[in-house]
Amino acid sequence: MNSKTNGIVNGGTTDIIEQPDPDYIKMFVGQIPRSMDEEQLRVMFEEYGRVHQINVLRDKVTGQMCDKKKTTT
């Protein structure tokens, strides 16, 4: 195992789960077209490097991507 993975024992087998390096960064990206889903965003950003996680902020009521001007509480 290297520093980017950890082993988790699962029923006698070891599952390798990739972990980001400690010096990786989180990015907040705004102005994403509402028509894009998580998979499309992943494909777009993977052109520039490995993507470990994508969180799309969604409106609690509508389930739509959040718009700063139209967010419901």
Q: Does residue 40 lie in a domain region? A: yes
Residue with tokens 């969180």: 55
Q: Does residue 15 lie in a domain region? A: no
Distances (CA, A) of 50 to 6, 62, 71: 17, 31, 30
Q: Express each pLDDT in 4-18 by its tens digit.
A: 445 555 565 666 767
Q: Does residue 2 lie in a domain region? A: no
Q: Express each pLDDT in 14-72 by its tens digit.
A: 667 677 777 777 888 888 888 898 999 999 999 998 888 898 888 888 877 776 555 45
CATH number at residue 60: 3.30.70
Q: Does residue 64 lie in a domain region? A: yes
Q: Does residue 4 lie in a domain region? A: no
Overall number of domains in the chain: 1
Q: Show the domain range for 65.
A: 21-73
Residue with tokens 């950890």: 6
Q: Does residue 10 lie in a domain region? A: no
Confidence of residue 2 (pLDDT cuts 50, 70, 90): very low
The span from the CA of 67 to the CA of 70, in Å, is: 5
Q: Does residue 6 lie in a domain region? A: no
pTM higher than the cut 0.85: no
Residue with tokens 């967010």: 71
